[in-house]
Amino acid sequence: MCCIAEMSPFWTEFYTLIGFWVGVVGFAFTIWQVMLAKREAKAAHTSADAAREAIRETTHENRRNFHRFMAGSVLRLMTEAQRWAENKEWSLAAERTNDLIEQVAQFTGDDSELLRIVEVLRTSRLVMLTKRQGAGQKFPMEEFQQHSEGCSRKYTVSATHSRRRNDQNDP
């Protein structure tokens, strides 16, 4: 076998140059791989941003649809409760008022006006239940209608403001 000390200067220089060029090519290959990794990371980041944006848009659209549905449901329940109260069908009026209370209570959050309206509707429901049994005080129809309409207005305005806030957040 041959050792390095016994090699001619030609082969020593040849192997040195080959080693140098292998190192240069290896370094260039490493730089190229780092650049590819950066490009892939940037593409992944862009994809993640697009996915976040799609999730945000879908969430806002779902929220808008939910508010529209809830506003329509509240209006329907309010109208039915008023009609049954005007016809002195106290059981049905109390049932629809209870449904209305449940719908509005889900949306109140910390809104003091809606919380007050829910309390008035609960009181009206109790009066309806006593009227159903043929006893109790006179039913305050004007107050019930006023608070029901206030609930409807507030609910529709809240849904509209929520929709506007969401629209403003959309770029």
DSSP 8-state symbol, 5: G
pTM over 0.95: no
Element (H, E) at 90: helix 90-107
pLDDT score recorded for residue 51: 94
- For helices 90-107 and 112-132, angle between their N-to-C axes, nearest 10 degrees: 160
Amino acid at the residue 82: Q
- Give all domains of the chain, ordered by start, each with its CATH number: 55-169 (1.20.120)
pLDDT score recorded for residue 72: 84
Question: How far is it, in rounded angstroms, from Cα 131 to Cα 124?
Answer: 10
List, for the chain, all residue ranges whose pLDDT scores fall below the cut of 70.
1-5, 133-171
